[in-house]
Amino acid sequence: MGAPQMYYTSCESGLAGYPGFQFNAATPGVGEDVLRRVEQATSYEPPRSLGYEPTTEQIDGCPVNLCYLPGTDGEPAVLARTVFVGNDYSQRFGNYFVHALSLPPGHDLDGALPIDFWAAGFWSATQANGTRLPELHPTPAATFGRASAEAFLQDAGRLGWVPRLLNAVERAIVAGERSVIVLESDSEKVARWISAVCHLLPPPMARRLSFATYSYRPGRGTEHLVGTVPETDFTADDSALRGYFLLDAVGGQVSDGAAHPLAEMLAALGPEDAQTVWSLAGPLATGDEPDFAAWYPIAVAGALRADLPIEPDALAAMLHWLPSAAGRLQPRLVGDIVERCLDHDMLTLAHCLSLIGVATGTRDENLVADAEVRAFDLLLDEPSVVPPRVPRPVTARGTGYAVEQVTAALSRATGRPRETLALITVALHARLPLRSADLAGYGRDLVAPILLDDPGQPVPELLAKAPDVRRGVLDGLSAALSGREAAVLAVASRLSDVVSDDELAAYPDLSRMVLLARAARRPQDRLDTLIRLTGKGVPESSVVAALWPHEWTLDEAADVVRAAPQRFWESDALIDRLDQVLARDDEPRTAWGPYFLVTEFVADRKLGSRLSPVAEDRVRGMVWSRQQIRSLSRVRGRQLDERLRKLLGMVEHGEPAVARWLTGQVHTLILRLDPEHLAALLPTVNPKIRQQYRETLAATLGKRPDDDVMTIAAATFDARTRLGRKDRATADELDRVFADTVARWKTRDLDHLEKMLAGSSARNVPAAFAKWREDEVPRGIGRFLPRRRH
């Protein structure tokens, strides 16, 4: 396929019609945009090493720029060679000659890579006679290609730089990251570097690589890979090493950077082997692979097909990719890759499982069986380990092989508990078709002895999933019960989570043991267990002791009281537990609810006589006190005063629980006393209750004054006035509460209170309130300021 060509130089005549830099000639039909791209991409300045008196030989030896710009969005690619020619037609120095080819989309250079044309014979550096050029059929030189790139890399220790160079080129192509600059002693060596890179890269990526073998200002190049030589505008300093990816072959330095595994692999392969790999990997690619990450597994598959050594990480990457790609690949190719993977020394079980899935997709039963057989070989290489995923053979050959191998291994595993359990687990996970009797036999003969030998070990997971094995284990435990009761109990208590009641029903002694063990670990099940084990009788003290090895808490007592059947209370064991709770001085520790429940229950069922005297007194006192408090809501005046005094006596001399409860109750009742009784009672109550009373009074009077609050305020002030004459200290306490609360009331509310107090039976109360109001109620802005405390 022919390619349009162009010549660009400073000349007297050309397409522009005036002398100077212009296109000297071009194939008719080349577009303006192509001409512009060529002009932009090929500008040339010689290195300063050329000097001020260059000879013809020095000019001829100037760096050559072979530049390739891939086409995007349907535009042609451009391949151009620029050489320095010294003077132009007007004898001005600085002229160069560009011979460029426009490669329309689809022009694949007959399979050659653009860099292969570095030494091609067709490049021209002389002006055309006219302005029209024919199309050219480009042919690369045989001396410059993959073989020479291989030899170049092998020389002078260059191979070590290749992985990072490849990685940087890939990043530049894919992500537009920093451009790659190669500083070499001459442009031919740069071309050889580019050749090596192009022959190592995945071919589609190599065709996307734009490059220039020489630029005076490589830092301003738009190409991915730009070459330069010493004594140009470019300085290979630290800034350049950081700002670009710089391979300074002259100074022996290279920019820092990581290398992708594919870059490492390709560098290790070299251009010749890389070609083999890419040719075998070609049919595996979609053509849309964007970067090294996508190409890596494909390259590994290619290397595998080429019988080249594969590192374990590479194999893992390929096997991660294969399942998703297998669906679009020819089954023959997939089969080939799977077989080669199965033969790989570094294949792991996880890999093999992946291969089974891939092989299944090919519908080749032999391939699947091969993979299953290999998987079980790998699995049984470490018989004491149960892998997270276990192969489940589906083919007859695979299944038969697996059963044969597992049963043989079990027969050899006696005395190795870990291995035995692992093998049975594997057999279950793999769903191997083992007979029910065989599994029960394994449970009885292998698993049960292992459990009894070390009762502290966790319950093997396999028991939860294997009823046959479980049955065998229960048989074994039941048989051992007579001689090794402690060990059986220990094992049974651990088995209780996995063994169902129905299964246990066949083993009554074992069942009782398992139920007790289960309830011991799960407190919420204790009562249910007690009911189940008691049946229609009354609870035995041994059962109660087994279920509650400790004294009941108040909550546990309340729970039993709520749920236990009537007949259970015939059991002294339960009554004893109840007595222990009620006899404790510090009960209740938190809420009163359970305590009331238990005491009311004992009183209702008349169980007090079966309790100890202390517990019985507490029950009686508690019940009486609660009845008193309930009845006080209906009494007033003197009757209220008398009852209150009795309760206050209980506070002083009653049982601790009763006294504590009453302390929390009576101060609210005092609030409701009339002034006369209040004034009489207050000085007599203990300081703690008086303190609580004041706090309750302050909280009540601090609320928005409604009728109840007004009534309490009036009664309290009345009582305070009465007290003022005989108990100044108590009156002062009430004054302080009033000053903090009532003194802040609105005038309207204070007026209302004053009206209520006007009807007091004590003569001096209205006057006392007026004086108190005058002295204590702040005026003006003082009402809103914090009260000053004296």
Partner 1 sequence: MTRLTCPYCYGRFAEKEIKFRCGGLHPIEGKPCAPGPDPVRGQVLGDTKLQLPVVEGNGKRLSARCAKCRIETTIQICPNCHSQLPVHYSKINNRMVAMIGAKFSGKSVYMTVLMHELIHRVGRRFDAAVTGADERTRKDFSNEERDLYTEGVLPGATQTAAAERGRAPFVFRVSLGEHRRFRSTLRHTVLSFFDTAGEDLESDKGVAENVRYLSCADGIIVLLDPLTVPNVMEKFGLDPSVLPQAANRADSPINILTRVTEVLQKLPGNGPNKMIDIPVAVAFSKVDALWEGLPQDSPLRQPAPGTPYFDEGDGEAIHAHVQALLYDWEGGQIDQLLTKNYRTFRYFGLSALGAVPAVRSPGQARQKVGGAIQPHRVEDPFLWLLSRLKVVTTGKD
CB 666 within 8 A of CB 689: yes
CB-CB contact of 277 with 306 (8 Å): yes
Instruction: Rank residues 209 and 410 by Cβ distance to partner 1 and give the closer one.
Output: 209
Window 393-412: residues binding partner 1 (CB under 8 A): none
Between CA 89 and CA 95 the distance in angstroms is 9
Residues 6+ positions from 249 with CB-CB distance below 8 Å: 158, 161, 182, 183, 184, 185, 189, 193
Total number of residues that touch partner 1 (CB under 8 A):
46
- Which residues face 180 on adjacent strands? 225, 245
Q: Does 49 bind partner 1 (CB under 8 A)?
A: no
E-assigned strand segments in 184-269 = 211-212, 225-228, 245-248, 253-254
Residue (94 or 441) nearer to partner 1, CB? 94
Residue type for position 30: V
Residue 95 touching partner 1 (CB under 8 A): yes
- Report the nearest approach of partner 1 to the CB of residue 263 (Å): 20
Span interacting with partner 1, options 37-45, 376-384, 752-760, 779-787, rule CB under 8 A? 37-45
Residue 231 found at the interface with partner 1 (CB under 8 A): no
Q: Which of 88, 116, 188, 264 binds partner 1 (CB under 8 A)?
A: 88
Q: Please report how close the Cβ of residue 164 comes to partner 1 at its closest, in angstroms.
A: 16
For the chain, the residue count is: 790
Q: What angle do CA 342, 385, 449 make, to 5 degrees?
A: 140
Query: Binding partner 1 by CB under 8 A: which of 49, 71, 75, 94?
Result: 94
- Biggest distance spanned by C-alpha atoms of the chain: 140
- Member of 1, 2, 12, 147 binding partner 1 (CB under 8 A): 12
Closest approach of Cβ 242 to partner 1, in Å? 6
In the complex, what is the shortest distance from the CB of residue 23 to partner 1, in angstroms, rounded to a whole number? Answer: 11
The amino acid present at 526, given as its one-letter code, is: R
Distance CA 585, CA 550 (A): 18
Of the candidates 404, 462, 460, 410, the one whose C-alpha atom is nearest the C-alpha of residue 433 is 404
Interaction of residue 41 with partner 1, rule CB under 8 A: yes
Taking CB under 8 A as the criterion, the residue among 40, 384, 436, 631 binding partner 1 is: 40
d(Cα 660, Cα 689) in Å, to the nearest integer?
Answer: 11
Determine how many CB atoms are found less than 10 A away from the CB of residue 621. 20
15-23, 104-112, 466-474, 759-767 -> range binding partner 1 (CB under 8 A): 15-23
* Cis peptide leading into residue 588 (ω within 30°): yes
**Of the two residues 88 and 475, which places its CB atom closer to partner 1 in the complex?**
88
When binding is defined by CB under 8 A, the residue of 132, 137, 242, 660 that contacts partner 1 is 242
Instruction: Give the shortest CB-181-to-partner 1 separation in angstroms.
Output: 9
Residue whose CB is less far from partner 1, 12 or 108: 12
Q: Of 89 and 122, which CB lies nearer to partner 1 in the complex structure?
A: 89
Helix (H) or strand (E) holding 81: strand 77-87
CA 776/CA 739 separation, integer angstroms:
6
Cα 283 to chain centroid distance, Å, stands at 38
Binding to partner 1 by CB under 8 A, coded x per residue (else -) over 446-485, reads ----------------------------------------
Closer residue to partner 1, CB minimum distance, 232 or 399? 232
Hey, which residues between 188 and 217 contact partner 1 (CB under 8 A)?
217
Q: Which amino acid is at 7?
A: Y
Q: Distance between CA atoms of 425 and 66, rounded to whole angstroms?
A: 66
Q: Which is nearer to partner 1, 35 or 463 (CB)?
A: 35
Q: Does 441 bind partner 1 (CB under 8 A)?
A: no
Stretch that binds partner 1, among 38-46, 258-266, 346-354, 555-563 (CB under 8 A): 38-46
Site string for partner 1, 680-699 (x = CB under 8 A): --------------------
Distance CA 522, CA 539 (A): 19
Q: For tokens 């109620």, name the residue.
A: 777
Instruction: Lay out the site mask for partner 1 across 57-86 (x = CB under 8 A, - = otherwise).
Output: --x--------------------------x
The residue among 16 and 156 lying less far from partner 1, judged by its C-beta, is 16
Question: Binding string, 142-181, against partner 1, x = CB under 8 A?
Answer: ----------------------------------xxxx--
CA–CA dist 24, 4 (Å, integer): 14
Distance CA(187)–CA(199), nearest Å, equals 18
Q: Which listed residue (2, 33, 92, 130) binds partner 1 by CB under 8 A?
A: 92
Q: Which of 3, 6, 10, 472 binds partner 1 (CB under 8 A)?
A: 10
* CB within 8 Å of 645: residues ≥ 6 apart: 681, 684
What's the min distance (Å) between Cβ of 41 and partner 1? 8
One DSSP character per residue, 317-349 reads HHHHHHHHHHTTS-HHHHHHHHHHHHT-TT--H
Cβ atoms of residues 458 and 424 within 8 Å: no
Comparing CA positions, the residue from 747, 668, 778, 762 lying closest to residue 714 is 762
Please give the structure tokens belonging to residue 28. 């008719």
* DSSP letter (8 states) at residue 443: I
Select from 63, 138, 221, 417 the one that contacts partner 1 (CB under 8 A). Answer: 221
Our finding on whether 90 is near partner 1 (CB under 8 A) is: yes
Least Cα distance to 558 among 606, 590, 533, 511 occurs for: 590
Q: Which of residues 45 and 438 has its CB atom nearest to partner 1 in the complex?
A: 45
Distance CA(781)–CA(395), nearest Å, equals 97
The single residue among 219, 257, 331, 467 that binds partner 1, judged by CB under 8 A, is 219
Query: Which one of 17-25, 125-133, 192-200, 732-740 is the stretch in contact with partner 1 (CB under 8 A)?
Result: 17-25
Whichever of 96 and 118 has its CB closer to partner 1, that residue is 96
Q: Which of 596, 564, 570, 567 is nearest to 582 (CA)?
A: 596
Q: Tell me the closest approach of the beta carbon of residue 219 to partner 1, in angstroms.
A: 5
Q: 91 or 566: whose CB is closer to partner 1?
A: 91
Where in 644-673 is the site for partner 1 (CB under 8 A)?
none
Mark 492-521 with x for binding to partner 1 (rule: CB under 8 A) and - for no binding: ------------------------------
- Given candidates 29, 53, 57, 606, which one binds partner 1 under the rule CB under 8 A? 53
> Which of 601, 618, 611, 548 has its CA nearest to residue 580?
611
Binding of partner 1 at residue 87 (CB under 8 A)? yes
Q: Pick between residue 55 and residue 324 the one whose CB is nearest to partner 1.
A: 55
Q: Are 69 and 41 in contact (CB under 8 A)?
A: yes
Closest C-alpha among 539, 538, 475, 545 to residue 510: 475
Positive or negative: CA dihedral 432, 437, 443, 445: negative
Of the candidate spans 238-246, 374-382, 408-416, 699-707, the one that interacts with partner 1 by CB under 8 A turns out to be: 238-246
Residue 21 interacts with partner 1 (CB under 8 A)?
yes
Residues that bind partner 1 (CB under 8 A): 10, 12, 16-22, 36, 39-43, 48, 52-56, 59, 86-95, 176-179, 217, 219-222, 233, 240, 242-244
